[in-house]
Amino acid sequence: MIHLSIDYSKVKQFISEDEINSFQKDLTKGHQQLIDKTGKGNDFVGWVNLPSEIDEELIAGIQANAKAIKDIADIYVVIGIGGSYLGARAIIEALNHNFAALKDDNKYPFIVYAGQNISEDYMAELLDILDKKDYALTVISKSGTTTEPAVAFRILKNHLEQKYGKENACKRIIAVTDKEKGALKKLSNDEGYQTYVVPDDVGGRYSVLTPVGLLPIAVAGFDIRKLIEGAVNMQKHIMNSSYINENPACLYAALRNALYVKGKTIEIMVNYQPNLLYITEWWKQLYGESEGKEHKGIFPAGVSFTTDLHSMGQYIQDGLRNIFETVLSVDKPHRNIEVPYDKEDLDGLNFIAGKRIHEVNKMAELGTMIAHVDGGVPNIKITLPEINEYNLGELIYFYEFACGLSGYLLDVNPFDQPGVEAYKRNMFALLGKPGFEKETEAIKKSL
């Protein structure tokens, strides 16, 4: 039994069962290729068996580290970008109090992020805060050579050493990187940092269940065992069958590809809970980087409703009809607030007095789905019973497997990202990095 469910009744007027089922043969093949490691990018499918193979010693070690960090740090800085950042942030924000930054009774270090941008003001303002707080950090980079986190780490390493002295600073740094390659690995060896390994066969955007995600999530006070348990449950379920009507990953991959071939080239992930915003960001990276190649692929976008119904709602209802939505719906909130009764009823809201806010949210969700479907936007609905570690574990594995399958249906390699190198080459050339002289000349000519 899995907790996650998919409802596709609101795509049925756009695509037929036959069109959905036409992907079955290729899905069965892709399912087998992911399990047997025989498809495109098969060097990077270590994530497929990862949940059930996570070492008990690794979990216990991460939990022990998290406990030690809690004793010495009010703030934990997670340095990383892309797949070395978004998974941890997605899970931490989904589980965290929405106003954690303002709470004065936090039991665990407050997590902040660095190295996911190159904004000088962001860094300066982070240092303003770190000047006054006890902190520790992790620097996460599989390649160990990515510019954004490397710049952030250089600055924060200096700051930490000035604040605590070199020896004590060293005890406040954990690096998560390749087992032997890259500048970060070398630096960690030279400086004596504790390190965790990103497995060779797991790419960044599929790495949330490695120390890349597990360490920050544990430091933030969340139960990584439950997260893994949920992922293991989904792994077993997905491994069991490749049938569209039994395997939610196959169903989701079939639905989105059936819509894609009908010209629905943009998928908008919708949430009605603001703390799911970074789940959308993580999903955008997972699908965008995995599928968007060879001039193919669904463009993954995201909105937070009802907030964005007052901005993007207009376009979704009435704009170009090349979009479909996937609503990530949550059945049960953790808290309970009712709309109060008001004697004067000047705002005319007494018709919902006594109703829970969640019920209003749910009616907004249903009303919006009906309106968007009427407007020509198919809606897939993925439901979680509630937001907790276990259900998020299921969700992660489900999205990952569906993404691998979807990439295979498109006939691309879902595990590489050659396109992200282009900006790096230009940036290095513009900054005068040795070895990029030819590119520098070419850019100068083109400007």
**Euclidean distance between CA atoms 355 and 334, whole angstroms:** 16
- Taking alpha carbons only, the member of 199, 198, 248, 209 closest to residue 90 is 209
Helix ranges, 74-210 (H) = 86-95, 120-132, 147-164, 166-171, 183-191
| Interface with ligand PA5, residue 204, by CB under 6 A | yes
Minimal distance in Å, beta carbon 84 to ligand PA5? 4
Reply yes or no on whether 424 is catalytic.
yes
**Euclidean distance between CA atoms 60 and 255, whole angstroms:** 39
The contact mask relative to ligand PA5 for 160-179 (x = CB under 6 A, - = no) is: --------------------
8 A C-beta contact, residue 8 and residue 388 = no
8 A C-beta contact, residue 214 and residue 224 = yes
- Taking alpha carbons only, the member of 377, 383, 389 closest to residue 317 is 377
Reply yes or no on whether 310 is catalytic.
yes
8 A C-beta contact, residue 333 and residue 389 = no
Minimal distance in Å, beta carbon 205 to ligand PA5? 3
Name residues contacting ligand PA5, limited to 389-428 (CB under 6 A): 417
Residue 397 CA to its chain's centroid (Å): 11
| Interface with ligand PA5, residue 84, by CB under 6 A | yes
8 A C-beta contact, residue 247 and residue 241 = yes
Tell me whether residue 80 or residue 248 sits nearer to ligand PA5 (CB atom).
80
Contact region for ligand PA5 (CB under 6 A) — 32-40, 79-87, 120-128, 234-242? 79-87
Catalytic position from the list 37, 181, 262, 424: 424
**Which residue shows structure tokens 């003001």?**
121
Residues 6+ apart with CB under 8 A from 31: 242, 247, 250, 405
The contact mask relative to ligand PA5 for 132-151 (x = CB under 6 A, - = no) is: ---------xxx--x--x--
Minimal distance in Å, beta carbon 80 to ligand PA5? 6
Minimal distance in Å, beta carbon 269 to ligand PA5? 18
Catalytic position from the list 281, 289, 365, 389: 289
The contact mask relative to ligand PA5 for 10-39 (x = CB under 6 A, - = no) is: ------------------------------
Minimal distance in Å, beta carbon 290 to ligand PA5? 9
Residues noted as catalytic = 289, 310, 424
Q: Point out which residues bind ligand PA5 (CB under 6 A).
A: 81-84, 141-143, 146, 149, 203-205, 289, 417
